Amino acid sequence: MIFLQLAHPFSYSLSYMRLRPIIRALVLPMLFQVAPALAEEPEDFEELDLEELLDVVYTASKHKQNISESPSAITVINREQIENTWCTDVVCLLRQAPEMDVLRVRPMHTAVGARALTDETGEKVLLLIDGKEMNSEVFGVVIWQALPVHLEDIERIEIIRGPGSALYGANAHSAVVSIFTRRKVDSSAAVFLGTGELGRHSLHARLGLEAGSWRLRISGGADMADNWHSPGDRQRQVGRLWIQADRESLTSKTDLVLGLTSAEGHIYNVLGPAELRDAIIVDALVSHRFDFLEARLSFNLMKGIIPIKPEGEGPETVKFQGILLGRLPNHVPYINPTVDAETQFTFTPFQGNLLIAGANYRWIGLFSDETLPGEIGFLGPGVFVDHIGVFTSGEGTDLLTEAAHLARVL
């Protein structure tokens, strides 16, 4: 497949893989002399240099740690690798990670899995963007081609190549893909244009602003593609808008995120093929971190229509022994809101030990005029689900030593 991408402003950077031996030879001896200065964790990954960026991960344990101490097999794709790749979307980058399976089923649907646990749905992988879960509650899958962010908005990707359900829940069955967006503000505007065969066209623009202590980043664009077997048959149309603002002080940090996506095309879910028609996806996130406490509140809304039969056909009746049981509608409209609230505490009870504890609550709703009568909500009859969870983890090698020392003192 041929796909050309033009960007303005143009930039060129050297490959880190070529410079890695030189960096190690010059930098590593100095690290041993300045180790005490590196004890404090930087607030953002963008504050780390290339050498540190390859060695520090967050997703495996929900806190920053050296990759050699990670309890899970993890792969990191940093900004340098993203800029030097020929890929134009996230799933292309995932194909380069070990043990990851990527199946392009349709122009609008790509299935991602790990450890040979991949089918056409790809429902066994959890996707996070800045800590917010992006799996669709309606279809049970990740709609990779309808993400609210573009490659130019991504700073790094961490991939847990294995189960992560202990920390992230049931969707993290075989892998966890965590995307961290770019935080630095570039005052200049950038526009990216792409085109290729099979009706592939893309447009993306981004802009960064600063207003007092707030940093604001706005990006948006659209892309489309035709059916692989029938050129001219448009089977993917996606539009996206991503607005991100944050403010940081010495002791706290606040993030505000809003993402809007429109999508049309064919996908697969656990029930079989489905078509997205007039689908609108809204993602919002508010998070605040103060010292050892972090709280986040996120909202997701997916609205659309699932066609059941071709337009123009009348309703089909379902009968049993001449008895009318019901009629199948031509399409099923739906509204699927989800609200997540999570709090996490991170503190050090003893020197050399780290304790993480938290709780989360999730509310899921599904509203449709074609469903059986259920509970009556603010959007009409629907089905509601509540989830409450708690999690805790501890790390360290000096816990027994500190406990023994405390016992001797007492």
User: Which of 38-52, 113-127, 260-274, 280-294 holds the top average pLDDT?
Assistant: 280-294
Q: Are 209 and 197 in contact (CB under 8 A)?
A: no
pLDDT of residue 343: 94
Across the strands, what pairs with 363?
339, 386
What pLDDT does 147 receive?
A: 94
Lowest mean pLDDT among 279-288, 371-380, 382-391: 371-380
Q: Which residues contact 193 (CB under 8 A, 6 or more apart)?
A: 5, 6, 7, 202, 203
| Cβ atoms within 10 Å of 9's Cβ, excluding its own | 9
Residue-wise pLDDT tens digits, 3-46: 444 433 333 333 334 444 443 444 434 433 333 333 334 445 44
Tell me the average pLDDT of the chain: 78
Of 110-114, 354-358, 383-387, 405-409, the range with the lowest mean pLDDT is 405-409
Q: Cβ distance 80 to 241 under 8 Å?
A: no
The whole-angstrom separation of Cα 77 and Cα 155 is 9
Which tokens sit at 272? 């079989």
Question: Is 152's pLDDT higher than 70?
Answer: yes
Residue pointed to by tokens 């999508």: 263
- Average pLDDT, stretch 81-108? 90
**Residue whose entry in the numeric block shows the structure tokens 């019901």:** 326
d(CA 118, CA 268): 13
Helix intervals (H) in 137-268: 165-168
What is the average per-residue pLDDT within 255-270?
92
- In the predicted structure, residue 375 carries a pLDDT above the cut 90: no
* CA quadruple 136, 142, 146, 147: dihedral sign: positive
- CA distance linking residue 109 with residue 89, whole number of Å: 13
Q: Check pLDDT > 50 for residue 333.
A: yes
pLDDT for res 275: 84
pLDDT classification of 384: cutoffs 50, 70, 90: confident
Which of these, 140, 131, 123, lies nearest to 179 by C-alpha position? 131
Q: Is the pLDDT of residue 377 over 60?
A: no
| Mean pLDDT value of segment 206-210 | 90
More confident residue, 173 or 32: 173
How much is the pLDDT for 38? 31
Q: Per mean pLDDT, which of 115-119, 144-148, 270-274 is the most reliable?
A: 144-148
| Overall average pLDDT of the 125-129 stretch | 93
**Which of 194-203, 251-260, 343-352 tops mean pLDDT?**
251-260
In percent, the amount of the chain with pLDDT more than 90 equals 35
Which one, of 225, 223, 180, 226, lies nearest residue 205 by Cα?
223
pLDDT value of position 373: 52
pLDDT attached to residue 370? 66
Q: Model pTM greater than 0.85?
A: no
In DSSP terms, 8 is beta-bridged to 191
Cβ-contact 326, 320 below 8 angstroms: no
Which distant-in-sequence residues (6+ apart) come within 8 Å of 312 by Cβ?
none
Rounded to whole angstroms, the Cα distance separating 154 from 163 reads 24
Looking at the predicted structure, is the pLDDT value of residue 353 above 70?
Answer: yes
Mean pLDDT of 375-404: 66
β-bridge mates for residue 110, sequence order:
104
Residue 378, pLDDT > 70, answer no
